[in-house]
Amino acid sequence: MLTLLKRIIRSGWLSFRRQGGLSVATIFIMIMVISLVTFLFLFQNITQFLISSLQEKVDISVYFKEEALEEEILKVKEELTQIPEVKEVKYVSQEQALAKFIQRHKESSVLMESLKEVGENPLLASLNISAREASQYARIANFLDDTLSPSLKNLIEKVDYYQRKSVIEKIFSLTAGINRGGILLIIILALVAILVVFNQVRLAIYSQREELTIQRLVGASNWFIRGPFLVQGAISGFLATLFCLLIFTLICWFFSPKLEILFPGLNLFGYFTGNFGIILLIQIFTGVGLGIVSSLIAIRRYLEI
């Protein structure tokens, strides 16, 4: 049995080498398919990281009128903390808001001069409310509009959503669009890969038709005849997987430090190595699976045994 398997593998390898140009084209197409599948897997991690990071920074700012007393503002804070959707509420007094403003814009001489001309603190006290999930901010806003007692509601100057919330929604939309486009492209490239491997095996069957006839006459088993063509497809997928794995290892290693500068805490290479086993299985399943399936289709269509 082992000897038979070695002969089948050797025969498949020789057939793969004979069709050098077509074999290279097959591997190239498969690399594209495997690369796209791997990219989508890594892209999911990057987008989830960005969404989680932005969700932590999104909040609602509730600004209070100047005549609002601190005790009244803290009463609103106490009511807000009772809402299940609220994760945290921070009170920022007028003095704290002014100190943060000066710290943030101390390099701007124009703003500092304008502040001096005003002569008093123009900033309002506020409550910064963080929700447990981005989708829960609407409920919190509704609570402030509809449920809060009129006496406390009259103290509110305005309720503001930070722009980061819209950024998160755009990222969700962009992620969904890229995923849909990526899946469509994977299907197209997979069909192209199947077609290329299909033609590779078809040409191999045609070029070896005399040899196959002799094998039938001497009583070779069906699997001995079919096996080399399956091996040929599997070799194409396996080599494409190796090349793709090397490419993505280098890409993640090279770009990881640069991405971490833009997005602190995002370690792409660490994620790649931490999920190396899953990525390897995905690539092998995609590459070798495409090769074997394409070969089976061609064998059923053109190899009459």
Q: What percent of the chain has pLDDT over 70?
A: 80
Strands (E), 93-216: 126-131, 156-161
CATH architecture, range 59-161: 2-Layer Sandwich (3.30)
- pLDDT score at 17: 78
- pLDDT score at 54: 67
Pairing of strands 126-131, 156-161: unpaired
> What's the Cα-to-Cα distance from 146 to each of 34, 56, 64, 139, 141, rounded to whole Å?
53, 26, 17, 10, 9
The answer to whether residue 246 scores a pLDDT higher than 90 is yes
What CA–CA distance (Å, rounded) separates 80 from 41?
39
Using alpha carbons, select from 147, 101, 106, 102 the residue that is nearest to residue 126.
101
**Mean pLDDT of the residues in the chain:** 79
Domain assignments of the chain as residue spans, ordered by start: 2-54+167-302, 59-161
**Average pLDDT in the 86-114 region?**
79
The structure's pTM equals 0.67
Using alpha carbons, select from 237, 245, 252 the residue that is nearest to residue 292.
237
- pLDDT score at 58: 67
- pLDDT score at 293: 82
**Average pLDDT in the 194-223 region?**
66
- Cβ atoms of residues 285 and 234 within 8 Å: no
**Residue listed under structure tokens 């000897």:** 3
- pLDDT score at 177: 77
Q: What digits encode the pLDDT tens for the residues 154-207?
A: 888 888 765 566 766 776 677 677 778 778 877 887 787 777 777 767 776 666
- pLDDT score at 244: 92
Task: Report which of residues 258 and 13 the model is more confident about.
Answer: 258
